[in-house]
Amino acid sequence: MKKIIKVVTMAMALTMAASGIALATPSTQIWIPSTDVQAFKTLHLGIDNYIRTSKKLGNPNYYDLGLTAGVLPFEKLQMEVGIDYLEGGLGADADKNPIYFNAKLGTPEDSLFKFSPALAVGAYAFGTKPGVTGQNVVYGLAAKTLPVIGRISAGGFHGSETTLIEGENGVLLSWDRTMSEISDKLWMAVDYQSGNSGLGALSFGVSWAFAKNVSVIFGYDIYNNQALGGKNTFTTQLDINFP
């Protein structure tokens, strides 16, 4: 799951039309949001590519260039806002309105009380063309890191009644872990978003940190409803943090 242009607004984005999908995201696992929030005064650049395994359904590849920034100076309450530029041949109206917004408010683990989970609420898929590019997805997540097992996250989401199938509701689930036994630079994740719209998918992947502030995710996405989500995609996600 990342961002473009300067950031001064809110919201978070994911868009899709009957001809395919496009993803505009806040801090994510592979596909779904995570409880992670950009630190204050940090800027995150994300360059994501989604390459179809087959063009049989006529779905195009798509690309996401985005910026996300941390905007709250508090240790126990953090917020990020982001803006994305999406390109994916989603039809004339969508391609003429490629800008999407996202936002997230969260607390890290142990911040509320000892052993408290990380919590996050956010919004994404806020496009600029109502009924075409606005899924207007809102969500909530809780996450806890367990010894040996890694971090488990669970939550739910609700999307637009006009753009998604019947104002889709669903669950968000994920597991992720830094594979310290091999290298502190290696991270793995599996995540799942339910639903019959193009947002629903099972995704998994690995990430390698080439530097303290630069990493790349290599992943694979299996869409629940390929008539809307399209054929499965390979994804590469370059993440760079400033400073």
Domain ranges of the chain: 14-242
pLDDT of the chain along its 243 residues, tens only?
A: 444 333 222 233 333 332 234 445 688 999 999 999 999 999 999 999 999 998 777 778 889 999 999 999 999 999 999 999 988 755 667 778 889 999 999 999 999 999 999 999 999 988 888 777 777 899 999 999 999 999 999 999 998 776 676 558 899 999 999 999 999 999 999 999 998 888 899 999 999 999 999 999 999 999 998 888 888 999 999 999 998
The whole-number pLDDT of residue 92 equals: 62
pLDDT at 24: 54
pLDDT at 46: 96
For residues 207 and 185, is the Cβ–Cβ distance under 8 A? no
**Could you tell me which residues come within 8 angstroms of residue 210 by beta carbon, excluding any fewer than 6 positions away?**
185, 216
| DSSP state at residue 208 | E
Tokens describing residue 42: 């940090």
pLDDT at 163: 67
Architecture of domain 14-242: Beta Barrel (2.40)
Q: Are 89 and 17 in contact (CB under 8 A)?
A: no
The pLDDT, as a whole number, for residue 14 is 30
What's the pTM value of the predicted model, to 2 decimals? 0.85
Runs of H (alpha helix) within 13-159: 92-95
Report the DSSP pairing between strands 78-87 and 233-242.
unpaired
Count of alpha carbons within 13 Å of 201, Cβ hemisphere only?
31
Quick one: pLDDT at residue 11? 30
Residue 211: how many other CB atoms lie within 10 Å: 9
Largest CA distance in the chain: 52
- CA gap 207, 205 in Å, rounded: 7
